[in-house]
Amino acid sequence: MSTVTTANYLNYINGEWVESTSNETIESINPAAPEEIVGHIQLSTKEDLDKAVEAAKNAQKTWRGLSGSERGEILYKVAAIMEERLEEIAECATREMGKTLAETKGETKRGIAILKYYAGEGMRKVGDVIPSTDNEALMFTTRVPLGVVGVITPWNFPVAIPIWKVAPALIYGNTVVIKPASESAVTFAKIAKCFADAGLPKGVLNMVTGSGTIVGGGIAAHPEIKGITFTGSNAVGKSIAHEAMKRGAKYQLEMGGKNPVIVAGDADIELAVDAVIKGAFLSTGQKCTATSRVIVEETIYDRFIKKLIAETKKITIGAGIHADSWMGPCASETQYKSVLQAIQTGINEGAKLILGGKPYEDKVNNGYFIEPTIFEVADQNIAIAREEIFGPVIALMKVSSMERAIDLANDSAYGLSASIFTGNITRMLKFVQEMEAGLIRVNAESAGVELQAPFGGMKESSSHSREQGEAAKEFFTSIKTVFVKG
């Protein structure tokens, strides 16, 4: 058995690293080598959460009283410390959830860039002057923080997603209680230490790890938490919305996707194939914006599928920490079994398996690897064409026209991201206008989000708010209208 570390990663509450009142921990496992323990995290209780919320509440008045530039300076310091620790954080993320080291390095760099972006937001305007009907009065708007914000994050982007929620929450004057996913909590503990070492005041950021039911559910229901931002499954997101609505808390949900790529008859096939492979199989398909359905016009279908199979066969699979691996394992045994079950369901329901579909034999460490998998699907109503899989699986569909392609792409409960490959401007514009998705990409893979741009979905993919860029202030602040007369 190989062990990277058996360190006990503590909760971070009110500026202190503390054990849970349960005195229990759970293991974080390397999915590429399940006998390897990356670390132990706290199995926290409601009492631990209450302490964290109390610390955040007590710190909020002083934190919001700082100027935006003062809060921004601390975020710049966090970014600088993360740059110094980039290799350590990236390697931990790779070992903890299986992404390749190249990907986790890129993600960590992105987290640093997000911190710098929001540090700069501290110097931007927070309101507008509005003409009043009374010419002797001054009327203007300003923005104020919500107060204590609860942050619940998934395992698939263990660096970027927590930071793109925490950074705007802090810059706009909120304090934070975060529950990172247990599968990636060791990675976030290292990020939390960067905040602590940057001099973030006590209680401004608090981390509590453990059960989604106890800690995550507790955040959703806690009366002192005024806003909840969540990324994860639809089932959990809906339960959070229900709890938040009962007590009038603000909530923001980013959830699932069944993201289509349309390949038109005039598409650059090599470009489309490359983008589909990256969109579907990088991160082992474990992205909410991953390519899941590929809809191809029949005039080029045979050429496209031949090229897609040939290029997919070139993918190297292995432990993410190894430089020669292009695709790593599923992030956990639970996810591994879920993906294999979805593949079997596709076979049982009549989809034609044309590549992969089996566990990838890992003779060294018995990791949770699955072959890149491609199905041909004639029936849009079967599960593999409709349900999110969150694994390296493509449902390939053939259509006779662009109109049919767009109808098929829109025939989904989800509406997160969508992409088209075409050289025809009329087709591009028709796709942009008619596609029911929050992120539209043209001649580019479906899985691509830029930190300065709003991100979020339509239909069941989102609560219809937007994250990142300037749009983040819409969630993390409330508008206050002020009327002044001498």
* Active site residue ranges: 254
Tell me the sheet residues that pair with 167: none
Radius of gyration, alpha carbons of the chain: 23
Identify whether the C-beta of residue 279 lies closer than 8 Å to the C-beta of residue 261: yes
* CA quadruple 383, 389, 392, 398: dihedral, nearest 10: 30
C-alpha torsion sign, points 226, 231, 232, 235: positive
Per-residue burial over 302-339, b = 16 or more CB atoms within 10 Å of its CB, e = otherwise: eebbebbeeebeebebbbbbeeebbbbbbbbeebbeeb
> Quick one: tokens of 318?
């292995």
Helix intervals (H) in 355-486? 383-386, 402-410, 425-434, 472-476
Report the run of H or E that residue 415 belongs to, with start and end.
Answer: strand 414-415
* CA quadruple 49, 228, 174, 121: dihedral, nearest 10: 140
* List of residues 6+ apart from 300 with CB closer than 8 A: 263, 265, 267, 269
Side chain identity at residue 344, one-letter code: Q
Distance, in Å, from the CA atom of 175 to the CA atom of 53, rounded to the nearest integer, reads 9
